[in-house]
Structure 1
Amino acid sequence: MAVLDAHGMIVMTNIAWRQYAMAYSPEPGQITPFCDIGVNYLEVAARGDTPQDNSHQALQGIRDVLSGKIEAFSLVYPCHTPEEQFWFTMTVTPLDWKGELGALVMHTDTTPRHHLSRR
């Protein structure tokens, strides 16, 4: 999970976030540059807006939570590697960060649930 400030800047992450970012980084031994503290998560999501992904939907959901327009947002999306197919659920909930409305962004591996629902 990551905490975003009112502007979408990543201000805090947990160990699982950092471990995943390191495991799938293009630079071995380093966290993926676009998901570390100090990076604007909204800008990263805006760059990935292609017909094959859900970046636009994720971006709008995060913006809506940060603006107070909605109370929470959830999105199931594929995140496949060359070796394996994964599905994640992104959940965004509001969070007070230094007196402003921020957000808690969690990505949960829901691959087992996805496989069960396909049977």
Structure 2
Amino acid sequence: MNRYTQTVAQLLAAAALSLSLPAMAQMTMDHSKMGMAQATTGTAPAPGLTDGEVRKIDKENGKITIKHGEIKHMDMPPMTMVFNAKDKAMLDKVQVGEKIQFIVIQDAGKMVVTDIQPGK
């Protein structure tokens, strides 16, 4: 490679890198969604109580379907979804249609309810 070709190749490599940096920065910002804040900031917000309504209980499999409000510490909008219960005995204390407050965490890639309290 002659000196001119080498300089052009270096300039093209630098230009390609500068164009990719904004995309890389955007990817980092996207990780702050859905409970991944700890991956970029080093600390995750503490889980708090979330309002919800029990839609279905599957005691045998330790699952509960909850129509819930915003889960702030996970930056999750309101929706209805199935959660795993940390302790199946929690499911004996609630009924379908009941308003509750609950705490959910992400554990080994699963959404796990760790506490259920009567709703307010």
Q: Same fold (TM over 0.5)?
A: no
Q: TM-score if structure 1 supplies the norm length?
A: 0.28
Q: TM-score if structure 2 supplies the norm length?
A: 0.28
Greater radius of gyration (CA): 2
